Amino acid sequence: MILLYNHGGCENRGCEAIVRATSEIFRQEAGCDACLASATPEYDRSVGLDAIDRIVPDRIGPYSIHRIINSIGFRLGMPREQEVARKHLPVIREGRRSELCLSVGGDTYCYGRQEHLLVINGRLRRVGRPSVLWGCSIEPKLIEGERLEDLRQYSLIVARESITAEALRKAGLPVRQWCDPAFFLRQEKLPLPEGWKENGTIGVNVSPLVLDCAQDKSAAFDAFVALIRHTLESTDNAVALIPHVTWAHDNDMDALTKLKEAFADEPRVFMLPGTLGAMQYKGYISRLRALVTARTHASIAAYSTAVPTLVIGYSVKAKGIARDLFGDETGHLIPVQELGGAGELIAAFDALLAREEEERAYLTQRLPSYTAGRREIVRELLALGGGQAEGKA
C-alpha cells in the first residue's frame, strides 16, 4: 500500500490530476494499492478516483475523542508538536502501515510555513517509514531555515523541473528529476458544447492567483480582455473560457465570469462549466487550436496532448517546465509580474499561432523522451520501502 498525503482536494484539478495519474502509474507498474489522505474526502469520493482504494480525511473530525483531548491538552500546555500530530493522526496512522508515503502537494513549500508537514514527516521518519516529496517545485530562495529542515526528513525528493532540482542539489538534498505525473493523466472526451469550432477554438484560463501576482491587477485583467477582443476581430476563432481550480478561496470562475461579462453578447465566447473533472477538462483542452493559461496544470493538459500553449506564469514550476520542454521559456511563458500590458500578450499569442504547426510537431516528437522513465522511478521509490509494495493480488 502507498499513501498519498498533503492533497488539497480535487476542486483543484491540478491536485486531482497528480493524484489520479500517480495512483494509476503505481498500480500499472507495480500493482500497488493506494490510500489518499484528503482535505476534502467527501468531494473526492464524489468524483470517483478510480485507482484509489481508500480515501481518508487528513485530520481528525470535529467530534472525535482526539479533538477533545487536543482541546483539553491545549489548556494544560500540551507541546505544539503533539497537538499538530494528534490533529493529523489519520495521516500518521496510514503512513505507519504503508510501504511508501508520497507527499503530493507539488508546490506546497512555495506558500508559507507548513507546520503540519514538518510534524507529519518527523513522525513518519521516527517510525522508519520512507517518505517522498513527489513532483515538487520550490522557489530556490525558499530552501532555507525550517523549510530546509523539513525537506531533509524526506527519503527522496522528486522535482518536476530542473530549476528546483538544481537548487535542492545545491542544498545537499537527495533529488531525482522527473516530469510532473499529470503528463500521464488520461483524457475523457465529452461532446463539444455549442459554440465550439473544430480546429478553431482558443482556450483561455485566468486565475485570481495570477492576477494577484501581477504588478497591476486591473491592467493584467484588461490584457486578457484585449486578447479576446483581438482574437474575435482578427480571426474567426471561438474562445472557450476554461476553469481549472474552483476552491472557494481561489476560484477561476470569479475571473472567468468577469471575462464573459465583458463579452456578454458575443456567442463566439463561451465558458465551460466549473463542475468538470481533470480528465474532462483535458479532453476539451486536447481539442483546442491553442491555449493561453494561468494554471500550470491546464498547460500540462495542453503540452501532453501537443496543443500550442502560452503560459502567463507566476512561479518557478511554470518557468521550469517550459524551460525543460523547449530548452528556453522565451515565447512560451510570460511571467505575470513582468506583463507589460495588452500589446505584449497579443504579440506573444500571435507569434504562437504563427508557429502552431511547428509547435505541435515539436511537442509530439519531444514528449516520449521528456516523460520517459516511469517504470524506473516507480521501482526506485518502492525500493526505499524495501521492495515491491503489495497489490490486491
Domains and CATH numbers, the chain: 2-178+373-384 (3.40.50.11720), 201-370 (3.40.50.2000)
**Assigned C-alpha cell, 310:** 502560452
> Which three cell numbers, joined as nine digits, stand for 311?
503560459
Torsion region of 197: left, alpha or beta (phi above 0 gives left; psi -120 to 50 gives alpha): beta
Q: Name 358's Cβ contacts closer than 8 Å, sequence gap at least 6.
A: none
Convert the pLDDT of each residue in 178-213 to its tens digit: 999 999 999 999 999 999 999 999 999 999 989 998
Q: How far is Cα 36 from Cα 239, in angstroms, rounded to an integer? A: 36
For the beta carbon of residue 218, count every other beta carbon within 10 angstroms: 9
Cβ-based neighbours of 270, under 8 Å, separated by 6 or more: 193, 194, 195, 196, 238, 239, 240, 241, 260
Taking Cα atoms as reference points, which of 77, 69, 117, 94 lies closest to residue 2?
A: 94
Largest CA distance in the chain: 69
CA proximity to 334, closest of 294, 290, 307: 294
For 312-371, what is each residue's pLDDT tens digit?
998 899 999 999 999 999 999 999 988 878 999 999 999 999 999 999 999 999 999 999
Closest alpha carbon to 58 in 46, 43, 41? 41
Residues 234-243 pLDDT 10s: 999 999 999 9
- Cα separation, 54 vs 307, in Å, equals 34
* % of the chain residues with pLDDT over 70: 94
CB 128 within 8 A of CB 95: no
C-alpha 245, offset from chain centre: 10
C-alpha cell at 17: 490530476
For residue 175, give every residue at least 6 positions away whose Cβ sits within 8 Å of its Cβ, in sequence order, or none.
156, 157, 158, 159, 165, 168, 169
Evaluate if residue 392 carries a pLDDT over 60: no
Rg (CA), the chain: 21
Which three-class secondary structure state does DSSP give residue 242?
Answer: coil
Asked if residue 74 has pLDDT above 90, the reply is no
Local confidence band at 50 (pLDDT 50, 70, 90 cut-offs) = confident
pTM recorded for the entire structure: 0.93
| Other Cβ atoms within 10 Å of 207 Cβ, number | 25
